[in-house]
Structure 1
């Protein structure tokens, strides 16, 4: 059971379950950040679980709650402890220095490095050492109905995930059927990929339960420690997970529509469309939706608890819950 019986609703609930219960078959000894629809130009995963060093994650919080993109990471990770001209302090980026200078200004504007001008030179120094906070990255594909056709469509993608080894583990999450042998075990899924069956019941205290039907193999390449490109890409993914999380679905949907609501499902909040009378998908919830109606202007001028309209209140609620989880995970270092 999941909202609207659609993959989007299943995906949101898997993300919330992972925040609460990852790993599925052991005690949590890492801090955990969960994001959705994250990846590279060539590959995007439904759910990404970043297992973090708790002390490192707490140190990462010194650089703010927003993502550090690749240009900012280049500056922050290499900023010196003492004042130094930025072109002496930073390794050559492989592209023109004017872009680095722009990144330096952005970094200083966000307070993640310090900047000063000495004559006609811009000098920088770090506000703190950038920590080594990422332990492992786990990729999860969500297919609530993993029938033969869905497995065939996923097979090539999963094979590439295993071969490239950008993630340390790869899983497929599917809806539990309750059969003696889950159908997912009989489908064409690479042997290195774990299979997780998940069930949801919003009326139970244990609203989300998961069973490991097949354990994944660690697909980390043997030369991972020497692969700078892989390490850089993984850090960029982790940074996007840190800043984005999985509740950012409001950024691609229309919470400013008068019909957009959040409904509780177990321990999760999921979108609901009052016009459709059900949970909508992200693709449905757009300005092109025939039921879309902007919030009346009068709603946006009211004070607490609306403070700008229900759409803004929804955004604040989701952002607050994301920050609460991030804070909880950083406190594991204490």
Structure 2
């Protein structure tokens, strides 16, 4: 099976069998976040998860969370950020728009405060690397070693559809768990349990490799903690349905929004759909309420009581 349909079916399975927040394609580096992207990130609810669902359905900008804006006395918006006025302005506007900040004017100046304290809402982070066909592993070993040495997530799992041999297990770090996932029957066979990583301590991040040299940087415990919060927030706001359905009559959403093509008789990657496909039948894209699908199947809440409904996100707020 191709990796994209495999990934969507795994997300569907995890969403149906766990109470975790499931998201796809989340940056998992500290010094170089885009240097490592986790296929699937599972976020386990923490002690104050309910408080997070009441705040907003959208991802809260990291700069807003990390600013000096609190829930007590309102502060002058510019003094609360250690960044450019232009970026601070955009962050404040976005935080107000999604209902995390509220603002007031005094003597011609704008003051802001949090509507509620940012909660301790998430627990463990579990990273899943998808490789349906182990006969074409690509950079699998390097990717998994990055995850283990950095320890940004609490557990790392390799999900595959292939038969797993001892030779396969010997080529990946011992701490990595291995699942054999049958995408057609949604059955998971645990080949090896993952070993918990030291997510609370410092880690070593692989930055780049050259002939005869590997560039690494140490990531402090504090830097990892900040990055973990950003990853969890992005997962909360993004979810896994981060794709558009194609304008083709042969494609219909199934299993909560998975794009199924009747002509090919399988789940497809919408980015590969178009006039070049022999089965393409031009039509308006299927209408589906993504928020309603996610709300009805997960602990995520689309419309928190008294808060702002989810709106279009601005991905620049990392």
Q: Please give the TM-score of this superposition, normalised by the length of structure 2.
A: 0.77
Question: Is the partner of 2:258 in helix, strand or coil?
Answer: strand
| CA-CA distance at 1:74 after TM superposition | 3.3
What residue is the counterpart of 1:326 in the other structure? 298
**Distance between the aligned counterparts of 1:73 and 1:293, measured in 2?**
46
Asked whether the equivalents of residues 115 and 125 of structure 1 are also in contact (C-alpha less than 8 Å), the reply is yes
Gaps of 5+ in 2: 28-32, 203-218, 303-318
Asked whether the equivalents of residues 40 and 128 of structure 2 are also in contact (C-alpha less than 8 Å), the reply is yes
Pair 1:213-2:205 in alignment? no
The residue correspondences of 1:171-186 to structure 2 (distance < 5 A) are 171-175=157-161, 177=163, 182=165, 185-186=168-169
Question: Aligned to 1:158, which of 141, 144, 157?
Answer: 144
Stretch moving more, 105-114 or 130-139: 105-114
Residues 163 and 294 (structure 1), Cα distance of their counterparts in 2 relative to 1, 3 Å cut: same
What residue is the counterpart of 2:92 in the other structure? 104
| CA-CA distance at 1:292 after TM superposition | 5.0
What residue is the counterpart of 2:249 in the other structure? 258
Asked whether the equivalents of residues 259 and 270 of structure 2 are also in contact (C-alpha less than 8 Å), the reply is no
What residue is the counterpart of 1:21 in the other structure? 17
Q: Please give the TM-score of this superposition, normalised by the length of structure 1.
A: 0.74
The answer to which structure, 1 or 2, has the higher relative contact order (CA under 8 A, 6+ apart) is: 2
**Distance between the aligned counterparts of 1:214 and 1:167, measured in 2?**
18
**Distance between the aligned counterparts of 1:57 and 1:168, measured in 2?**
18
CA root-mean-square deviation: 2.9
| CA-CA distance at 1:279 after TM superposition | 2.7
How many residues align? The count is 281
Question: Is the partner of 2:48 in helix, strand or coil?
Answer: helix
**Distance between the aligned counterparts of 2:179 and 2:94, measured in 1?**
42
| CA-CA distance at 1:56 after TM superposition | 1.8
Pair 1:71-2:63 in alignment? yes
Asked whether the equivalents of residues 262 and 272 of structure 1 are also in contact (C-alpha less than 8 Å), the reply is yes
> Could you list the runs of 4 or more consecutive aligned residues of structure 1 that deviate by over 4 angstroms after TM superposition?
181-187, 286-294
Q: Could you give the per-residue CA deviations for residues 281-301 of structure 1, whole angstroms, max 9, x where no partner exists?
A: 2441357757655536xxxxx
